[in-house]
Amino acid sequence: MSFGALYNKFMLQVKNLSFQVKSERKTRKILDGLNISVKPGELIIITGPNGSGKSTLAKLIAGIEKPTTGQITLNGTDITDQTITERAKLGIAYAFQQPVHFKGITVKDLLQIAATGQETFLEDETGTDYGNILKTIGLDPEIYLSREINNSLSGGELKRIEIASILARKASLTVFDEPEAGIDIWSFDKLVGVFKRLRKQNPEASYIIISHQKRLIEIADRIIVLKDGQIATEGPAAKIIPKLEELL
Amino acid sequence: MKTLDEIEKQLFETVADISEPPKGAYNFRLNGKSIGRQSSKNIDVQPQKDGLIIRIAPRTNDEVVHIPVVISMSGHKETVINDFYIGDNADVTIVAGCGIYNCGADDSIHNGVHTFHIGKNAKVRYVEKHYGAGPGAGKILNPVSVFHLAENAYAEVELEQIRGVDSTDRVTKAELKNNAKILIREKMLTQGKQYAKSHIETILQGKNTTADIVSRSVATDDSRQEFTLHIEGNNLCRGHSECDAILQDRGSVIATPSLDAKHVDAQLIHEAAIGKIAGDQLNKLMSLGLTQNQAESQIINGFLK
């Protein structure tokens, strides 16, 4: 088998990944020997109870946290010691669960940084038309492009802008940490539609979505259930969904 | 007008966005002397002891007066007194500002005292940029700006200390009559061992008066900044002041708000936030592909935009 074929088999591999937090008295394991492989084009939902380590896993993949032990590879390259910036340049996007405020930076500034801060990996119908990107997630560009990303925006608006910044990235692997958090039902419906459309347009792009939301879980290829920092179960959506209630 | 050398040209450009005399009214001051002065039909610029008297005719519309100051002679010290009389219903922009280049051993000091009498229904935008450069001794700027707003007058005040000013003690005062409104936007960046002090005091005397004051600053290296923002409400009025500062290295900032509500219908608010750039802000921009340095510059440039 050629290396190329190997890379194509798995886009992202998380190998024996552990993350511990040390306090004065004891060491707490947040993630414990996790192994996850993501294929090109795959949409994986990671779910599980609060405190199971889901958000930590997302941060480890984005490079915001560094693992205690273990390895992360992207298309065969070991990225475990790479910075957030280096990973972004390799095509990883990360949508924050709690969107960040910036005094003086406008929505347009943020979308511009997102679109031009690194190589564009994929093409889709939104192109680099920022107005179009905002419309996709239900925000009127006339009103929002010039708005500062500060606390005058509601939680739902900030969340949609966060998602817009990810859409502008056109990354090859996108990690969403609870995209449904703080978003209203109407926008959430739009968001599910966005995921479906993105997948159709870019069959090679992969998504890891941390979510509790049934409607998002239903569009997964595969579901991984985390519990106490380990994989409680995983498998195709059709097989896992019926068992979810008893697992969570 | 006297021929300017490259440094002087660049200083005039930095503080007033112009290097050549503009079309309208102006006074260019270099090392204590007027090197070019012009009045327009509606704006009269006349010398007075230690400064200028600028009279703007009522109903003057959409005109700009430039009065930049440059000090390029090391050790030059001056106090300049400029008085502005803005007629009723006028709508004008006043561009001031001072740039100091110091390559010698003595401190260069500019103390600018500006008093504005803004007529009824008049609208004024006042822009003041301060900048210091050169390897020499102190570049010191101490501006005092006093605004008297008549009924229904409106003033938009932009105060900016860009870089290189070693020491500043700035005082900004405003008094507002019925229905008058003032917006003050202050931006400041200090580096090295620079020291900056700013006192902004607004008295909302009249009914339905409004003051909105936002001070944003970045203190880097070992620099020190001190802010006092005071609003006094003596009538039905609204006052808002906001003081935000970003700290880098060993920079330090003290912000002292003070609100004095002397009327039951006075609504006064103060907000202040001081701290380093949040880790989440850096992480977000780095996750979009910027390096840490690029992300920091982006955040600071946006903040002081």
Percentage of chain B with pLDDT > 90? 92
CB atoms within 10 A of CB A36: 21
* Weakest-pLDDT range from B5-19, B82-96, B177-191, B223-237: B5-19
CA B240 to chain centre: 18
pLDDT at A106 over 90: yes
Q: Do the domain assignments include residue A137?
A: yes
Percentage of chain A with pLDDT > 90? 62
In whole numbers, what is the pLDDT of chain B averaged over residues? 96
Is A172 in contact with A198 (CB distance < 8 Å)? no
pLDDT attached to residue A117 = 55
Dihedral class, residue B279 (left if φ above 0, else alpha if ψ from -120 to 50, else beta): alpha
Nearest one of B255, B141, B249, B241 to B195, comparing CA atoms: B141
- Judged on CB neighbours under 10 Å (0-12, 13-18, 19+), A238 is exposed
* Weakest-pLDDT range from A16-20, A133-137, A204-208, B242-246: A133-137
Residues of A in contact with B284 (CB under 8 A): 96, 100
Residues contacting residue A21 through CB under 8 Å, at least 6 positions apart: A27, A28, A30
Residue type, A235: G
* Weakest-pLDDT range from A85-99, B5-19, B54-68: B5-19
Cα separation, A85 vs B278, in Å, equals 17
What is the mean pLDDT of the segment spanning A190-218? 89
Residues of B in contact with A64 (CB under 8 A): 283, 287
Please, what sign has the CA dihedral across residues A70, A74, A77, A83? Answer: negative
- Contact at CB, A88 and B288, closer than 8 angstroms: yes
Nearest one of B164, B255, B261, B267 to B216, comparing CA atoms: B255
3-state SS string for A172-188: CEEEEECCCCCCCHHHH
* Token representation of residue A19: 């993350």
Residue A91 pLDDT grade (very low, low, confident, very high; cuts 50, 70, 90): very high
pLDDT in tens, B168-191: 999 999 999 999 999 999 999 999
A150 touching B (Cβ < 8 Å) = no
pTM for this structure? 0.86
Read off the DSSP letter of residue A243: G
Q: Do the domain assignments include residue A217?
A: yes
Residues of A in contact with B305 (CB under 8 A): 104
Query: Chain B closest CA to A141's CA: distance in Å?
Result: 20
pLDDT in tens, A16-54: 999 999 888 889 999 999 999 999 999 999 999 999 999
- Contact at CB, B288 and A114, closer than 8 angstroms: yes
Residues of B in contact with A88 (CB under 8 A): 286-289
Number of domains, chain A: 1
Residues found in chain A: 248
Cα separation, A103 vs A151, in Å, equals 9
- Contact at CB, B288 and A118, closer than 8 angstroms: yes
Residues of A in contact with B281 (CB under 8 A): 100-102
- Give residue A103's domain range: 41-63+88-247
Q: What is the ipTM of this complex?
A: 0.91
- Contact at CB, A98 and B280, closer than 8 angstroms: yes
Q: Do the domain assignments include residue A10?
A: no
pLDDT in tens, B65-101: 999 999 999 999 999 999 999 999 999 999 999 999 9
Is A49 in contact with A245 (CB distance < 8 Å)? no
What is the mean pLDDT of the segment spanning A184-209? 86
Among B278, B284, B302, whose Cβ lies nearest the Cβ of A109? B302
- Contact at CB, B302 and A83, closer than 8 angstroms: no
Q: Do the domain assignments include residue A23?
A: no
